[in-house]
Amino acid sequence: MKAKKIVVLGGSGFVGRHIVHQLCAHGYEVKVLTRRREDAKHLTMLPNVLVEECDVFFESAFNRAIRGSDVVINLIGILHESGRNTFDRIHAELPRRVAQACRAQGVPRLLHMSALQAAPDAPSAYLRSKAAGEAALREVAQDGAKDALQVTMFRPSVIFGRGDSFFNLFAALARLMPVLMLAKPQARFQPVFVEDVAQAFVASLDRVETVGQAYPLCGPTVYTLRELVRYVIDTLGLKRSIIGLNDRLSYLQAWAMEWLPIKLMTRDNYYSMQVDSVCDCAFPPVFGIRPTPMEAVVPTYLAADTMRQTYMRFRSTAGR
Ligand SMILES: NC(=O)c1ccc[n+]([C@@H]2O[C@H](COP(=O)([O-])OP(=O)(O)OC[C@H]3O[C@@H](n4cnc5c(N)ncnc54)[C@H](OP(=O)(O)O)[C@@H]3O)[C@@H](O)[C@H]2O)c1
């Protein structure tokens, strides 16, 4: 069956927007559910995309929203807990509810976004909750075997691309501060391009062999955090020093940052970095993708921002 109607949860976010664009380009009919329509208004101009406000935790509204669709894609996730939006609620309880709703409404296919190194015994609550979400999906998908829900899960390392929070955050910090005090400088990452991730999601729709699989998604190269931050600084053409913090100071920095009004880092992020976010295998061959190196992409948006900001600085100096 060629899937036609796709409901995307978390489609307004960084990864979601790229996936929705690719789904559109492939001619799928896409419905994006969001808490605030305003946050997804950038998608309303796309052909075949409907943006609908829906509380995904409100069972009857959610059931109505996915009824008659062929696929649900769940990208909803958080990096920091706030109020009742805990990791368990968003990463474990919600995926279970989504899978149950798919079964109840006869939606045959579910694509789910997890995270690399998700494991029940992972050092951070974020990674443990992602693992609990995966376990819940496996359980609900198999329950009653015959009309089993066809689930594919994706487990990316850190994702880069225009609008990402990782490289843009370090770029913003590097612009502001002459010296960067870096927690966990030796933590290792294997950044993967958002368009490659989106392509894997879209390709899996047509490949039955992806059903029941969980795919680690990584880029071509492993870097330490220090190397990534140095790369950002160099790309921006700035002269900045990096001071790598030892483990104890990294923890203290994360703890102190929890008190800031804007969450840059938490102790749970620090715990996540105890395990290297790297793949032990190549990009899954089933997708036929050669992963894009970050050097081919990151300068196109970081350097572009620099030029725009320079222009804005000139304007403000000129009093305009
Ligand atoms: N970015 C990365 O480097 C990375 C790496 C590994 C895994 N992931 C996973 O990939 C997924 C997408 O990440 P992203 O970077 O695109 O995140 P993002 O930009 O923050 O987008 C997250 C989306 O989740 C939705 N959402 C958040 N809290 C919600 C809540 N309480 N109820 C309903 N919806 C909620 C938001 O939708 P509305 O505001 O429209 O409702 C938003 O569009 C997440 O599951 C994340 O854990 C990301």
Q: What is the pLDDT of residues 69-110, one digit of tens each?
A: 999 999 999 999 999 999 999 999 999 999 999 999 999 999
Inter-residue contact 8 to 31 (CB < 8 Å): yes
Ligand 1 centroid to residue 76 C-alpha, Å: 4
pLDDT (mean) for 152-175 = 97
* pLDDT score at 143: 76
| Angle, CA of 157, 159 and 160, to the nearest 5° | 145
Ligand 1 centroid to residue 319 C-alpha, Å: 39
Ordered domains of the chain (ranges, CATH): 5-161+191-217 (3.40.50.720)
Print burial letters for 8-41: b (CB count within 10 Å at least 16), e (below 16).
bbbbbbbbbbbbbbbbbeeebbbbbbbeeeeebe
* pLDDT score at 207: 95
Q: In the structure, which protein residues have their CB atom closer than 6 angstroms to any atom of ligand 1?
A: 10, 12-16, 34-35, 39-40, 56, 75-78, 85, 90, 113, 115, 156, 158-159, 166
Strands 188-189 and 223-224, how do they pair?
antiparallel
Ligand 1 centroid to residue 14 C-alpha, Å: 7
Q: Is the pLDDT of residue 313 over 70?
A: no
| Angle, CA of 95, 103 and 209, to the nearest 5° | 80
Ligand 1 centroid to residue 270 C-alpha, Å: 19
260 burial level (CB within 10 Å; 0-12, 13-18, 19+): exposed
Measured between alpha carbons, how far is 199 from 23 in angstroms, rounded to an integer? 9
Ligand 1 centroid to residue 33 C-alpha, Å: 12
Measured between alpha carbons, how far is 277 from 165 in angstroms, rounded to an integer? 16
| Angle, CA of 167, 170 and 171, to the nearest 5° | 80
Digit-coded pLDDT (tens) for 223-279 = 999 999 999 999 999 999 999 999 999 999 999 999 998 889 999 999 999 999 999
Q: What is the mean pLDDT of the chain?
A: 94
Inter-residue contact 225 to 187 (CB < 8 Å): yes
Inter-residue contact 23 to 30 (CB < 8 Å): yes
Q: Is the pLDDT of residue 189 over 70?
A: yes
* pLDDT score at 229: 98
**Ligand 1, atom nearest to 164 Cα:** 1
pTM to 2 decimals?
Answer: 0.94
The residue whose C-alpha atom lies closest to atom 12 belonging to ligand 1 is: 75
pLDDT (mean) for 51-71 = 97
Ligand 1 centroid to residue 74 C-alpha, Å: 9
Q: Best mutation site among 7, 35, 72, 81 for ligand 1, i.e. most ligand atoms within 8 A of its Cβ? A: 35
**Ligand 1, atom nearest to 91 Cα:** 45
Strand partners, 129: none
3 compared with 169, residue with greater pLDDT: 169
